[in-house]
Amino acid sequence: MEVKIKAPRGTQDVLPAESYQWQEIERIVMEEASRSGFAEIRFPTFEDTALFQRSVGDTTDVVQKEMYTFEDKGNRSVTLRPEGTAGTIRAVLENGLLGSALPLRVCYLTSCFRYEKPQAGRLREFHQFGAEMLGSASPVADAEVIAMVQRILTRFGLAGAVRLEINSIGCPKCRADYHAALRSYFAQRRDELCATCQTRLDKNPMRILDCKSPVCSEIAAGAPVGLDYLCDECAAHFDQLQRHLKAFGIGYTVNPRIVRGLDYYTKTVFEFITDTIGAQGTVCGGGRYDGLVQELGGAPTPALGFAMGLERLLLVLRASGYEFQPREVCALYLASMGDQAHLAAAGLADALRRAGVRAECDVMGRSLKAQMKYADKIGARYTVVIGDSELAAGKAAVKEMCSGETADCTLSAEALAAFLNQ
């Protein structure tokens, strides 16, 4: 027997019964982004592998363990994007977008790919809504971006279900001292660390703080925290951010353990976390990345942003009982009997659609009874039956399915559309 092909592990189909929920989420996040001045940017699904190695960082779990990397037929190493920031910055630089008004605010809805162990809220192909602001070094920008996430969550009624945690991981200047402190702390227990973290110890000890192995996380729990090593500038930035968050009325806690899983961050990092969807409760993560634009070949340009996992957002929405706007159903089903009537029904359905009405007619060659059964199954709001006598009279009875009430209506697209819209 032939083996049926299944969707790859860690991927999800979005079926018609739920795609309208995705559409509502996407509409709302893009609407909020637009209100805050963010315009959509689209970039390729795959990029030169070096882009992610240089931005996300080659000692991160994402680059070391999770990327979908392959050689194309031209022997180039390419990688399916594991996140959206790198592609955004690459596109911004390549297209010279930093040459016009700053700050530049761009946002995206993208699929991302990471070879992780799938579980609830963790997929190998997942979707992000992300936003990036380039050009501002001010903590006001940090607060503004965080406030946008907060507004989105509030619009979904999730302000109480998701909490904000913030931290500062400093700049390259203060990070040198912090790295030294981490190295001497972890060196005492070097032999207990996993093989990957042993190599990270020399290259990038902060990454050990983010390791998912139980032993490394247990050791990391006692490690020095970055907040104790901030230089004056970074400390002042963090302080100002908190003043602004308070001014915006946004509640938060400082969690000195947040380091994020990507290498490009500097100063502010933040996460929006929920306890309502299990272990993968980080709905949104972001922060400042003041060195990335330069790292990718641009002029030194401070920047920051965030990305929200849409699958996780959907899980929180469902857990909170959020009511999506009902799925649009067929407004009018045109049932027909006989050749002339079939032709008339098809023509009317087409004309109604041109007039903006969701109309359907039979395309299966079904009996009238079977047509009505179908209309019922798809939840059509109204039905009309067209036969020879209706054609001759130029009018037919339109039936409201929920009440069973009928009313005569002229058999023209204009009259039917007007009837449905009254």
Binding site for ligand HAM (CB under 6 A): 83-85, 114, 116, 121-123, 126, 128, 130, 132, 261-262, 282-287, 305-307, 309, 311-312
Closest contact distance (angstroms) between CB of 178 and ligand HAM is 20
Strands (E), 52-156: 69-71, 77-80, 104-113, 125-134
Question: Which residue pairs from 386-390 have beta carbons closer than 8 angstroms and sit at least 24 positions apart in sequence?
Answer: 386/334, 386/335, 386/336, 386/337, 386/341, 386/344, 386/345, 386/348, 386/411, 387/336, 387/337, 387/338, 387/341, 388/337, 388/338, 388/340, 388/341, 390/341
**Cβ distance to ligand HAM smaller for residue 114 or 342:** 114
**Cβ distance to ligand HAM smaller for residue 32 or 362:** 32
Closest contact distance (angstroms) between CB of 286 and ligand HAM is 4
The CA distance from 349 to 357, in Å, is 9
**Cβ distance to ligand HAM smaller for residue 87 or 352:** 87
Closest contact distance (angstroms) between CB of 147 and ligand HAM is 15
Closest contact distance (angstroms) between CB of 113 and ligand HAM is 9
**Cβ distance to ligand HAM smaller for residue 55 or 383:** 55
Cβ partners under 8 Å of residue 26, min gap 6: 109, 129, 310
Of all residues in this chain, which one has the CB nearest to ligand HAM in the complex? 309
**Cβ distance to ligand HAM smaller for residue 83 or 360:** 83
User: Could you tell me if 86 and 56 are in contact, meaning their C-beta atoms sit under 8 angstroms apart?
Assistant: yes
Closest contact distance (angstroms) between CB of 146 and ligand HAM is 12
**Cβ distance to ligand HAM smaller for residue 57 or 286:** 286
> What is the three-class DSSP state of 80?
strand
Please count the other Cβ atoms lying within 10 Å of the Cβ belonging to residue 71. Answer: 10
Closest contact distance (angstroms) between CB of 230 and ligand HAM is 20
